[in-house]
């Protein structure tokens, strides 16, 4: 299952970049919980749950960011239905207009071949530690 989970993480990134809510829902468990530091930086993160998770997330991203993209994306298998992706988030704050380039990571937990839990980190080491790895 591990290689399949790595492949799903890559497909999720592609769907994310297209903001393809249909594909994202297909890869996500109905009970998805997604904690993101990119939509509520000041409070340490915002939590999105359930079938509307992705739509709610993108709405918040559009409020926080004028533009953003993921660069240098790589995925590591952590075993036991866990993977982590490490990347750089490059964007511009909507209100401030300030350009941002931030090392970031996503920890994924899978259930029945779908993403069940997803948590964003603003640091590679934290993301690796969340799934039991270190760089």
Q: Dihedral through CA 33, CA 132, CA 42, CA 96, nearest 10? A: -100
Q: What is the pLDDT of residue 68?
A: 86
Q: What is the pLDDT of residue 24?
A: 96
Is residue 75 one of the residues assigned to a domain? yes
Is residue 61 one of the residues assigned to a domain? yes
Is residue 21 one of the residues assigned to a domain? yes
Tell me: the pLDDT tens digits for 55-113? 999 998 898 889 988 899 999 999 989 999 999 999 998 889 999 999 999 999 999 99
Q: What is the pLDDT of residue 2?
A: 78
Q: What is the pLDDT of residue 43?
A: 47
Quote the number of domains for the chain.
Answer: 1
Is residue 135 one of the residues assigned to a domain? no
Tell me: the pLDDT tens digits for 3-53? 899 999 999 999 998 999 999 999 999 999 999 988 765 545 799 999 899
Q: What is the pLDDT of residue 51?
A: 84
Look up the pTM and report it.
0.89
More confident residue, 135 or 12: 12
Is residue 13 one of the residues assigned to a domain? yes
Where in the sequence is the domain holding 37, given as residue range(s)? 2-130
């Amino acid at each position: 299952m591990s290689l399949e989970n790595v492949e799903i993480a890559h497909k999720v990134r592609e769907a994310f970049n297209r903001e393809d809510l249909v594909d994202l829902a297909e890869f996500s468990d109905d009970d998805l919980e997604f904690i993101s530091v990119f939509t509520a930086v000041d409070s340490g993160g915002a939590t999105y749950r359930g079938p509307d998770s992705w739509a709610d997330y993108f709405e918040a991203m559009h409020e926080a960011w004028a533009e953003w993209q993921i660069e240098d994306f790589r995925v590591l298998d952590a075993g036991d239905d866990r993977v982590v992706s490490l990347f750089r988030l490059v964007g511009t704050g909507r209100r401030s207009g300030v350009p941002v380039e931030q090392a970031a990571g996503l920890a994924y937990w899978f259930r029945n071949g779908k993403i069940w839990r997803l948590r964003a980190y603003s640091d590679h080491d934290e993301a690796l530690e969340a799934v039991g790895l270190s760089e």
